[in-house]
Amino acid sequence: MEKFKKFLKKLYKCEDFKFLEKTDEGTYIFYPAPYAKGYEVKSLDELNPIMLYWRFSTVFSVFFIMTLFIFLVIFIHQFYNMSCFFTLMILTLCMISCLLSGFFMWYLRKFRRVKPKNEISKKLKIISLVFVIAYILMFALFVYSCPCCIYGQYLENQEWQKALNSINFIIKFQPKNDNLYENRALAKYNLNDIDGAIKDCDKAFELNPKNYWSLSSKAYFTFIKERKITPEIMGMLEKSMVNKYPIAYSDRAKIYYLLGESDNAIKDFEHAYLKSGNEYFNYFAAIAQEQKGDYCKAYAYYNTVPQNKKFQISELPLKKEYAKFMCKE
Contact between 154 and 162 under an 8 Å Cβ cutoff? The reply is yes
- How deeply is 175 buried, as exposed, middle or buried, from its count of CB atoms within 10 A (0-12, 13-18, 19+)? exposed
261: left (phi over 0), alpha (psi -120 to 50) or beta: beta
**125 and 82 part of one domain:** no
- Which residue type sits at 144? Y
Provide the angle, in degrees to the nearest 10, between the axes of the packed helices 122-156 and 178-190: 20
Q: What is the pLDDT of residue 80?
A: 47
Of the three residues 93, 119, 145, the one that is the final residue of a domain is 119
pLDDT, tens only, 86-133: 656 666 766 776 677 677 777 777 777 777 777 777 777 788 788 888
Given 183, 209, 240, the domain boundary residue is 240
Q: Which of 11, 3, 30, 10 is nearest to 19 (CA)?
A: 30
Are 159 and 209 in the same domain?
A: yes
Confidence of residue 79 (pLDDT cuts 50, 70, 90): very low
pLDDT > 50? residue 78: no
Select, from the ranges 29-38, 280-289, 308-317, the one with the highest average predicted confidence (pLDDT). Answer: 280-289
**Which residue, among 19, 24, 93, 78, has the nearest Cα to 54 in the 3D structure?**
19
The CATH number linked to 302 is: 1.25.40.10
Same domain, 251 and 235: no
Give the pLDDT confidence score for residue 199 in this predicted structure: 92
Q: What is the tens place of the pLDDT at every residue in 157-196?
A: 778 888 888 888 788 877 888 888 888 999 899 999 999 9
Give Cα 171 to chain centroid, integer Å. 12
Residue 120's pLDDT is 72
Same domain, 87 and 157: no
Lowest mean pLDDT segment, chosen from 70-79, 155-164, 291-300: 70-79
Do 125 and 143 reside in the same domain of the chain?
A: yes
Whether the CB-CB separation of 250 and 267 falls below 8 Å is answered with no
Residues 163 and 104 placed together within one structural domain of the fold:
no
| Cα–Cα distance for residue pair 160/158, rounded to 1 Å | 5
Mean pLDDT, rounded, for 187-209 = 90
What pLDDT is recorded for position 195? 92
Report the largest interatomic distance among the alpha carbons of the chain, rounded to a whole angstrom: 107
Question: Sign of the C-alpha dihedral, residues 168, 171, 172, 175?
Answer: negative
pTM of the predicted model as reported, rounded to 2 decimal places: 0.57
Arithmetic mean of pLDDT, 240-259: 82
**Which residues 6+ apart lie within 8 Å of 82 measured at CB?**
73, 74
Which of 116, 124, 137 has the alpha carbon at shortest distance from 36? 116
Between 108 and 240, residue with greater pLDDT? 240
The DSSP result for 285-326, as a single string, is HHHHHHHHT-HHHHHHHHTTS--SSS---TTHHHHHHHHHHH
Select the highest-mean-pLDDT range: 42-46, 134-138, 223-227, 273-277: 223-227
Verify that 144 and 236 share a domain, yes or no.
yes
Q: Which runs of E-coded beta strand occur in the chain?
A: 20-22, 28-30, 38-41, 112-114
Whether 218 and 135 map to the same domain: the answer is: yes
Q: Beta-carbon neighbour count of residue 258 at 10 Å?
A: 13
Each residue's pLDDT tens digit, 12-44? 554 555 677 778 888 888 777 667 777 788 877
Mean pLDDT, the chain, whole residue set: 77
Say yes or no: 85 and 178 in one domain.
no
Same domain, 293 and 259: yes
Predicted confidence at residue 124, as pLDDT, reads 75
What is the number of structural domains in the chain? 3
What DSSP character marks residue 29?
E
Same domain, 28 and 101: yes
Residue 28 near residue 20, CB atoms below 8 Å: yes
Give SS3 for 193. coil
**With 60 as the cut, is the pLDDT of residue 5 above it?**
no
The domain of 277 spans 244-329
Q: Sorting pLDDT into bands at 50, 70 and 90, what band is 2?
A: low
Boundary residue ending a domain (66, 88, 119):
119
Residues 129, 68 share a domain: no
The strand pair at 38-41 and 112-114 is best described as antiparallel
Please report the pLDDT score of residue 64 as a whole number: 65
Q: What three-state secondary structure class fits 28?
A: strand
Question: Any bridge partners for residue 113, and if so which?
Answer: 39
